[in-house]
Structure 1
Amino acid sequence: MKKLVSVVIVLGLAVASVACTSTSTGDDEEDVVVVEGPGAEYQALFEEQIAKPFTEKTGIRLKYATGGSATEQYAAIRASDGDPGFDVTVMTSLELYQGSQDDLLAPVTPQQVPNMANVPQKLLDNTYGVGAIQDIQQVVMMYNRTEFPQPPTSWQAMWDPEYRSGSLIFNPANILGVYAVLNAAELDGGGIDDPDPGFARTAELAKYALGTPTNSAEAVPFMTKGTATAFPYFDGRAAIYSQTTDYDYTVPREGTYALLGSLGIPVGAPHKDAAYKFIDYWLSPEVQQRWALAYNVGPSITGLQFPADFAAKHVTTPEALEKLKIADAETVIRNRTEWSQQWAEAVR
């Protein structure tokens, strides 16, 4: 087996660090809504596109606290029995499902968040009554333009002998790795209820692949050096690096899975009324369009107009949403630990 460029993640330490994240604002906390989410470019965009105009419009102050992954942030909610010290957290629909089962997220309904009336039923079905979906990403194929004269049309390209030595296999510790296995399984007749063909393909690809990243940032050096050929990625970051590297991205003909960016309110949040106003603001048409264009994602409401080149790359229409696959949250959560073990066996 070809030696892989490996990445080590210590989940216990990561979860512990999130559980201990300080959300002290330095201000009068009675007046501040604390929002916890990803750092880096996400935080910068949030503060400019969401927080500043929200405060200007409502007078409600926001404090952004950086946490870890969505899984780690939910671990902080669970460890604190629903009182982690923040009012709203940026997560995914998977954590919304878990929160609904654990009774650790507050109800979020159209009565509290009127703009949810503009959200398609397909997305509402994945909020489980305890959150809202604010954006849509999709798993795309990132490819090296210098290696592909034309965009690849199938996920099979990652296994092509001409390109497999530059493939990247994402660890299921990142949800991108889960969706990559499911896409691979479907190439051989499997799927979420039969992922074994996906792990068989993972084992085959591991003999040649370039690396096994645990998060999207770890793929960046491979793009900077131009050594990666084709690999799965989320369209938000793919759009960024398509402007700064020799890479572009496409959705293969077999279709792909969605990542549903979501907002949840811990049951112990001290500023629930303001949190509902904040979520409603994010779901307003003007903000939805502004955020989609800034973060390179699809909106969660319908009826918005986007430039043709943007719409061609992201989920912006009811037709595009209808084609998108949404993995069953209960199945993913129930099997994710076992799938991670299967993945580790496949790539060792």
Structure 2
Amino acid sequence: MKIAIKTSVITLSALMGTTAFAQDNTLTINSFGGAYEDAHRACIITPFEEETGATVNVVTAYSADAFAQLRAQKDAPQFDVLHFSGGQEIVGASEGLLAPIDAAKLTNAADVYDFAKANLAGGEGPAYSIAAIGLVYNTEALPEAPSKWTDLLNPDYSEHLVLTDISNGYGMLGFLMLNQVQGGDLSNIQPGLDAVTQLLDAGAIIVSTSPEIQQEFAQNDAWIAPYASDYAYTLRKAELPSGFAQGAEGTPASYITANLVAGRPNMDLALKFIDKEISPAAQECFAEALRYSPTNSKAELSSEVAADIAYGEDGVKGLIRFDPATIEANRTAWVEAWNKTIAR
């Protein structure tokens, strides 16, 4: 998707070094680069600028980096709206870096699913998109879609199964779901590690990045991989037969949230931007472009797009959010245990 963009892109250092901004009609946000940022501009940023006459300055910064900058700037924040995909809003709100949001100031809030706006008053911004983690599969090798997470343990799949390292955020969520269906929880990941050992012994492989998943599907007879909903679409665009299935036991979810930074002069304008992000039109556009799940119940998608994601009341009721704070607190120990398990 190639779109002519008028939005100005600046580095954060340039932003901090100038005092010439018209603060009353300018916002500074982060986005995640690449195809995501292209869609962010097309679906939200450019329409918002055209509708309001505002200028949106974009700093390309992924969640962890954006949060680190927010902390570093706590006495003089430079962002107006920050987007996170790793649960950083939970910590940011608890530290007072993010401002509470009055749902009454968001015209679209009433139509957003409850789980996506659970703590607005506490400073955790709404989820405007969801990356659902399920089973990406080869539709030619498996004309009948897998339907359960326990299908990963099917011996017929063993030599055609691709797992993703838990250093990858989606890989972590897929592993935690495998751990859960094997009887584990966030206080005990050993059942998941035992399952990984079993799968590797049977012929499964582990990759670290999404392009490696594509390579395995294209060249090495991969049939199934626990990964994000948008990736089945990525594979199809590469002319690889692929589909996405939600496991009956539940669907791990990465919440992509829009958060109001505390202590900024343009909070009303920032709220209008966040309101734009949770609108049906913006979320329909995101789903079409990237295959992320809408959180606005009024978003209407074609059957083709809906097949690739967790969609509608039935689709989202199975979403599971593993506590981001617990994941972050245990990440180092879990990665160490994982690395010992896969060493062979």
**TM band (smaller chain):** 0.7 to 0.9
* Structure 2 match to 1:40: 34
Cα displacement string for residues 39-98 of structure 1 (whole angstroms, at most 9, x for unaligned residues) = 110111111221111111000111222123x23322232233375633222213611111
Equivalent residue for 2:190?
196
Give yes or no for the alignment of 1:96 onto 2:93.
Answer: no
Which aligned pairs between 1:135-284 and structure 2 lie closer than 5 A? Answer: 135-207=129-201, 208-213=203-208, 215-244=209-238, 245-284=240-279
Determine if the alignment matches structure 1 residue 123 to structure 2 residue 130: no
Q: In the alignment, is the contact (CA less than 8 A) between 1:154 and 1:253 conserved in 2? A: yes
Runs of 4 or more consecutive aligned structure 1 residues displaced over 6 Å after TM superposition: none
Distance 1:93 1:112 in 2: 25
**Number of residue pairs matched by the alignment:** 327
1:137 maps to a residue whose letter is A
**Partners of 1:124 and 1:263 in 2: CA distance:** 11
RMSD: 2.7
Given the superposition, is the C-alpha separation of residues 138 and 212 from structure 1 closer, same or farther in structure 2, using an over 3 Å criterion? same
1:29 and 2:24 are equivalent in the alignment: no
Q: Counterpart of 1:173 in structure 2: which amino acid? A: S
1:257 to partner: Cα distance: 1.1
Give the gaps of 5 or more residues in structure 1.
1-19
Structure 2 Cα separation of the partners of residues 29 and 205 of structure 1: 56
The answer on whether the counterparts of 2:32 and 2:60 sit within 8 Å (CA) in structure 1 is yes
Q: 1:118 to 1:146 in 2, by over 3 A?
A: closer
TM-score between both structures, scaled by the size of structure 2: 0.84
Change (3 A) 1:313 1:146: closer
- Structure 2 residue 313 is matched with structure 1 residue 324: no
Instruction: Give the secondary structure class of the aligned counterpart of 2:334.
Output: helix
Unpaired stretches in structure 2, ≥5 consecutive residues? 1-10
SS at match of 2:126: strand
Call closer, same or farther: CA 1:178–1:312 in 2, change over 3 Å: same
* Equivalent residue letter for 1:318: E
5 Å-filtered alignment, 1:10-25, equals 22=13, 24=15
CA distance in 2, matches of 1:28, 1:238: 45
1:343 aligned residue: 338
Partner in structure 1 of residue 288 of structure 2: 293
Residues 265, 275 of structure 1: 8 Å contact kept:
yes
Asked if the contact 1:108/1:132 (under 8 Å) is kept, the reply is no
In structure 2, distance between residues paired with 1:126 and 1:346: 37
In 2, are the aligned partners of 1:83 and 1:267 still within 8 Å (CA)?
no
Provide the secondary structure at the position in 2 that maps to 1:257.
Answer: strand
Change (3 A) 1:75 1:36: same
2: distance between equivalents of 1:103 and 1:140? Answer: 34
| Aligned twin of 1:304 | 299
Match of 2:74 in 1: 81
Q: Aligned to 2:108, what secondary structure does the other structure show?
A: helix
* Identical aligned residues as a percent: 24
Query: For residues 146-190 of structure 1, what are the alpha-carbon distances to aligned partners after superposition, in whole Å with 9 as ceiling and x for unaligned?
Result: 432422233334344443334333233332122112211123222
* Whole-angstrom distance in 1 between the partners of 2:255 and 2:166: 17
1:114 to 98, 107, 110: 107
TM-score, normalising length from structure 1? 0.83
